[in-house]
Structure 1
């Protein structure tokens, strides 16, 4: 079961990029906790606290695609450094803001969110450049799994500082840690020599085509990624999942705050994240294609089963009694996100992957921004159980959306692969290729789409000459270094 991970971490720079990208986004889970305690202490309202927390994520959402395009064009290390510095300054300003000026925290949070470190989308766009085959499956699972370590330790650290020193000191600490992570990630990008743009995928060379065909190809290449149904479904699905997860995090914070015991956040949030960590680790080690709808419905069910045990439905003697159920509830979260990110990595054009993950970051940020005031209002009006029920409903919607991914992915497969050819002259041969030719067999997600849902997924790697066998790497950039295993040249790099 560990063979995938052994091959993966033998690839040069993968481990360094993964660790430093996680360090650069360490502040993310703790930020919502610190902001909620700070603003709720100022105003006495969870709705206003959720509004400020949502402003942070909305700011990140507004610039996700733009930062993705900037990263695709190169100098991603400089982008990370600039964002890290400005974001830290914004957090420090919020931490020093007087309580009487609480309303300033809304525009300040929005402006600070514009400079949230884009480590997640940059690193996720890098994984297909560094890995393929089972390694790519393992790296997306490894990232989704190790990211849960952030959701274990960041809430523990943040809640501990809030309990003993106050939310202002917690914000200052998160800002410093975020800056240190951004600097380390930028240096890791330079050492791996992946700060430049990715080379676009190329189909086989064919004779020149008429100008009309070339113009149509050029238009398709430059059009927005939002015109691709499969990508839009993935963006919406991930946004709804994150909305539910963030909503559940805020429910845990509100429950602990109502009990007057902030230290409960450390335990409850960490146990929930630990369940996700275990589930992701097991999913990444398993062979075979992941079934995304099954994982998504499992995640929704996991949150829904918590509702009967929360106030005002039930009043447990201590919240610690729910920890075993919280662990089980989290098991499907990381596997679901890993499968969705892997599907996106295979579907997006190679030279626009960072932009695609930028749109995904935008969708996730919008989902988190909506979750703040929505969950706060549900908790204010219906209690802790009402907030959890809303979170379960959001994840259930994402599971329903996942049922349509196969159909949307297969509908534009050959067309979009042709449009992504570097030379418009290559378009005709790709468009005329056999419809039976699969898209990309180099990854778990493509295999999932081909075998489980019957549709080939991927804009890249469509061959005009012959179909590819699943598991065989497609034409593309040469691997940086061999891994010493079959069919694996050399993951992502964001989440």
Structure 2
């Protein structure tokens, strides 16, 4: 592995501090669903169904707010967007413990709309601040920090809520969001192309100019990957519960997280990506099927999940890099906001779909349905991308001939 490639990425101006601040903001953001869940269950003494509704409306807010925040960053830069986001987040997490269930549910939509855009800021900065030949390495590093945040954030939120109180967990989350957001505001990373910073008015890019062609397959591959990862995590817990080994769920999920880290580390050290983004996403879905053959023993399940877990971070890195490369000047933030919405969509489908199949059939079927759904969606994205590539080649070949044709 060429670890030196990571040093070259981190040596880019401002990238090191950005990755650190982005990491803390990611820890806070990924902990939000579990902290909201426990705030409703413990703090308001409501059921998990009521908690699920709060998380669902928050997710809707995030899906809508991501592209809107991205568009605002295209027009005005990072600081104005962060300022509004920080104000909304601090108000929500400070007042949240004292809200009634109805007020909390309504406010969760606003919390999602004004979600701290740490993920988007990091990806936008990497897209404009890292040379193209090192961009897949940069996004692999981003995937690694995201992976660690998913391992740390929810666990920390649960620990504080159960050991102290859900109120402390909510206000503590608000503190972390505030500190991370303030750090990003002070750093003020440049997320717009340097050539356009002299002119305060970025070019206006029509939606039909960027939301078409190769971008749609990339977004589909992104959704396919998150569908698989969210789905197989639920299937792992359900499978071990059915076999009377649910106490090993944490260990199996930890092994998945470590495999994902290793996969990202290897992917980022490669000279160039070995497969297109949709191809890696399709492999995540196909290898997820292996979990269905190992639900009876946690040791075999650990082994079966090595491949899909090791491929998921490279898939995220590949899709993020592809989306950033396809984003035109003046619409980078909007495109990466749509990328974030595609991530959210996959997460919102994967876990409920896996849970529904678990309840109706069995863990084997849960792995099967999730794997096939993910592989099928990614396969369609791969086929569409290949078709567009062939069309571009034909157009490029035809252009000189048309130019030489006599009038």
TM-score (norm 2): 0.81
- 8 Å Cα contact 1:151/1:270 also seen in 2: no
Greater alpha carbon shift after TM alignment, 259-268 vs 24-33: 259-268
Q: Which runs of 5+ in 2 are unaligned?
A: 198-202, 402-407
What is the correspondence of 1:40-79 to structure 2 with a 5 Å cutoff?
Answer: 44-45=47-48, 49-79=51-81
Alignment-derived partner of residue 388 in structure 2: 408
For 2:17, the equivalent position in structure 1 comes to 16
SS in 2 for 1:73: helix
The counterpart of 2:334, out of the listed 344, 347, 355, is 355
Quick check: 2:267–2:273 contact (8 Å CA) kept in 1?
A: no
Q: Which digits, 9 at most, give the CA deviation of each residue in 1:411-462, with x for residues without a partner?
A: 46999xxxxxxxxxxxxxx9x9769xxxxxxxxxxxxxxxxxxxxxxxxxxx
Question: 2 CA distance for matches of 1:386 and 1:168?
Answer: 39
Return the alpha-carbon distance in structure 1 between the equivalents of residues 230 and 124 of structure 2.
24
Post-superposition offset of 1:346: 1.5
SS across alignment from 1:26: helix
Partner of 1:114: 113
C-alpha RMSD of the superposition: 3.7
Aligned: 1:365 with 2:351: no
Distance 1:43 1:258, change over 3 A: farther
Deviations 1:266-323 (A, max 9, x none): 544333222111100001001133303442232113432223444xxx3x5xx57744
Q: Secondary structure at the match of 2:116?
A: coil
- Residue 243 of structure 1 aligns with which residue? 227
CA distance in 1, matches of 2:361, 2:164: 31
Note the C-alpha offset of 1:133: 3.6
Aligned 8 A contact 1:156 1:267 in 2: no
Alignment of 1:253-264 (within 5 A): none
- C-alpha deviation, 1:358, in angstroms: 1.0
Give structure 1 stretches of 5+ with no counterpart. Answer: 202-217, 416-429, 436-495
Q: Contact 1:271–1:323 at 8 Å: present in 2 too?
A: yes
Query: CA 1:343–1:148 in structure 2 vs 1: closer, same or farther (change >3 Å)?
Result: same
User: Does the 8 Å CA contact 1:162/1:169 hold for their aligned counterparts?
Assistant: yes
- The whole-number CA distance in structure 2 between the counterparts of 1:35 and 1:334 is 26
- Partner of 1:299 in structure 2? 284
Give runs of aligned pairs for residues 427-438 of structure 1, distance below 5 A.
none
CA distance in 2, matches of 1:104, 1:259: 41
CA contact (8 A) 2:294 2:300 kept: no
Q: Tell me, yes or no, if structure 1 residue 397 matches structure 2 residue 376.
A: yes
- Contact 2:261/2:313 (CA < 8 Å) preserved in 1? yes
Structural mapping, 1:401-480, within 5 Å: 401-408=381-388, 411=391
Matching residue of 2:5: 4
Give the stretch that moved more between structures: 12-21 or 245-254.
Answer: 245-254
Which secondary structure does the structure 1 equivalent of 2:378 belong to?
helix
Deviates more, 1:400-409 or 1:112-121: 400-409
Give me the whole-angstrom Cα distance separating, in 2, the residues matched to 1:409 and 1:88: 46
TM-score (norm 1): 0.68
- How far the C-alpha of 1:186 sits from its partner, in A, is 1.8
Matched residues in 1 for 2:399 and 2:20: separation?
A: 42
Would the aligned equivalents of 2:36 and 2:55 in 1 still touch at CA under 8 Å?
yes
1:139 equivalent in alignment to 2:138: yes
- Residue 50 of structure 1: CA displacement? 4.0
Note closer, same or farther for the CA distance 1:79–1:261 as it changes in structure 2 (3 Å cut): farther
Residues of 2 paired with 1:348 and 1:405: CA distance? 16
Is this contact kept in 2: 1:301–1:392, CA < 8 A?
Answer: yes
Deviations 1:381-430 (A, max 9, x none): 44655554444344223421233223335646999xxxxxxxxxxxxxx9
Pick closer, same or farther for the CA change 1:384–1:182 going to 2, 3 Å. Answer: farther
The DSSP-based 3-state class of the residue aligned with 1:338 is helix
Of 274, 292, 299, the residue aligned with 1:290 is 274
